[in-house]
Amino acid sequence: MYVGDYLGRRTIYSPERTAIVDAGKEPPWRLTYRQMNERANRLANWMRHTAGIRKGDRVAILARDGVEHLDCFFACAKLGAIHTALNWRLHWREITEIVERTEPRILIYSDDFRENIALLERAIRSTPHAIPVYLHIDGPGIEGSLHFETALQSGPSDPVTCENVTEEDTVALIFTGGTTGFPKAAQVSHRMIAWNTLNTVIHDLTHNDIYLNVFPMFHTGGLFVYTLPQIILGGTVILVRQFDPARVLDLIERERVTVFAGVPTMYQMMTQAPNWARADLSSLRFCTSGGAPLPVSLILQYVQEKGVRFKQGFGMTEFGPGIFALAPEDAVRKAGSIGRPNFFVDARVVDDDNRPVGPHQVGELVLKGPSLCSGYFGDPEATAAMLDEEGWFHTGDLAYYDEEWYFYIVDRRKDMFISGGENVYPVEIEKALYEHPAVHMCAVIGVPDPKWGEVGLACVVLKPGATATEEELLAFLQDRLARYKIPKRIIFMESLPISAAGKILKRELRKQFVGT
């Protein structure tokens, strides 16, 4: 069955082309499509016959970027299982909660996170959520853990498919921050992947492209924006364990990379790398930037010093992820725009009554098209609320478009801010702060930061007679949240602005501390 067997089908067409360069290995691994397909078949056979994985089972991975992520994804796709990549930036308690909700039957991990895996395993070993099989990619692993490569190589290389997989079946869960304070798992189907690939090919890729991925593969940006479309199209994907600006510049030059994508912070850091001045970036057809508007001064620096053309885009975990694209020739003329909708994406801006508005009128951005996810795993209420009566997906983002149908984001989802390319939802931080016995009321907002774009500012009201210091509360949060979620500052206030309905007015806090 061709649905799900991405590598099996691509190997028919281009078996000896280089599929993956894992530059995180020393020396780098260079794998053809034939070799990648063999690895996926071996892992799938091992999963099926030794670990008992069946269609719909979840297989989790907590690891730095590397070929193992793709081994896992493609093996799951062949079996009809569900690839579940976990955010390694989360606190182990947060990971435990996700594991308890998704109940993976296998957890693959790299040695960087062995301590977290040990804490997780102890927490769930005597519960119904216990994970039967752990595979470690490197290092010694926890007790009872099997080596990933040993397991993979022990499986036969016979072709594997699941004949009853359809385009509507879920192949991956990608976690997105939610307004409820717990990450929701967007269900990515084969249909969503196919339509996103078509949109990406129409606007971006060719058969001969070489793409360097620096996004973590637990993100939709790492796995689905360019990586999967490149593999389906037969190009080459280069992987690194994590973003390093000097390393990236060297790889672009040495591997003759044609497509690169990053967030504005990454592009800024690359200009400060020691090898920036001598780096040869002439192989790049274009760079793509997303996550936040790219400053015009940075665009001009890349154009003038390196001859690099920029595309800008806008995507979401639940939709696309490729939704909008701004062509390189418009990068300066339409600075601040997310561009026009991709070919098979319909977009509107609507008012509070869900009626379309005209150019330059601010409203909510809503979307429709076949690259929408299939709801949220284990959350039927959120899934039912995903679309309105006419089938439009409401992003929660305020936007407008101009006379040429270029769209602009005015404000992001209520309260959410982006720090270093990561979505941060204040309700998660506030929930943790409220666990401290001295905290009476709190509100978290995003404030500008020259390095990370935005960082958190927590406004706290203490209980009468209680005491707490900024250092104490920050340490309290460090034991409960991922580091990127922890506010940069905590300000103690006598009271917070409250509406007549009893809600904290965060817009008043933004006026006070941000000026907008």
Question: What's the pLDDT tens digit per position in 101-154?
Answer: 999 999 999 999 999 999 999 999 999 999 999 999 999 999 999 999 999 999
Strand order in the sheet with 106-109: 146-147, 133-136, 106-109, 58-62, 82-85, 170-176, 184-189
CA dihedral for 425, 431, 432, 434, sign (positive or negative):
positive
Q: Which pLDDT value is given to residue 178?
A: 44
Q: Which pLDDT value is given to residue 298?
A: 86
Q: Which pLDDT value is given to residue 500?
A: 44
Whole-number Å distance between alpha carbons of 385 and 425? 19
Question: What's the pLDDT tens digit per position in 369-416?
Answer: 999 999 999 999 999 989 999 999 999 888 899 999 999 887 666 677
Residue range 306-327: mean pLDDT, rounded: 92
Residue range 253-265: mean pLDDT, rounded: 93
Strand order in the sheet with 210-213: 29-32, 18-22, 236-239, 210-213, 259-262, 286-289, 310-314, 324-326, 340-341
Confidence of residue 421 (pLDDT cuts 50, 70, 90): confident
Residue 395: alpha-carbon gap to chain centroid = 16
Q: Which pLDDT value is given to residue 397?
A: 84
DSSP secondary structure string for all residues of 414-431: TT-EEETTEEE-HHHHHH
Q: Which residues contact 459 (CB under 8 A, 6 or more apart)?
A: 442, 443, 444, 445, 491, 493, 496, 509, 513
Q: Which pLDDT value is given to residue 413?
A: 60
Whole-number Å distance between alpha carbons of 104 and 468? 40
Question: What's the pLDDT tens digit per position in 452-506?
Answer: 999 999 999 998 899 999 999 999 999 999 999 999 999 999 988 875 445 678 8
Whole-number Å distance between alpha carbons of 92 and 131? 15
Confidence of residue 1 (pLDDT cuts 50, 70, 90): low
Q: Which residues contact 385 (CB under 8 A, 6 or more apart)?
A: none
- Say yes or no: domain 6-242 is CATH 3.30.1330.10: no
- Domains in the chain: boundaries: 6-242, 287-411, 417-513
Cβ–Cβ under 8 Å, residues 196 and 369? no
**Could you tell me which residue, 424 or 237, shows the higher pLDDT?**
237
In CATH terms, the superfamily for domain 287-411 is: Luciferase; Domain 3 (2.30.38.10)
Residue range 64-76: mean pLDDT, rounded: 98
In CATH terms, the superfamily for domain 417-513 is: ANL, C-terminal domain (3.30.300.30)
Q: Does position 264 have pLDDT exceeding 90, yes or no? A: no
Residue range 319-323: mean pLDDT, rounded: 94
Q: Which pLDDT value is given to residue 181?
A: 53
**Torsion (CA) 68, 226, 424, 420 in degrees, nearest 10:** 90
Cβ–Cβ under 8 Å, residues 32 and 22? no
- Which among 227, 202, 199, 226 is positioned nearest to 70, based on CA atoms? 227
Strand, coil or helix: what is 332? Answer: coil
Cβ–Cβ under 8 Å, residues 258 and 308? no
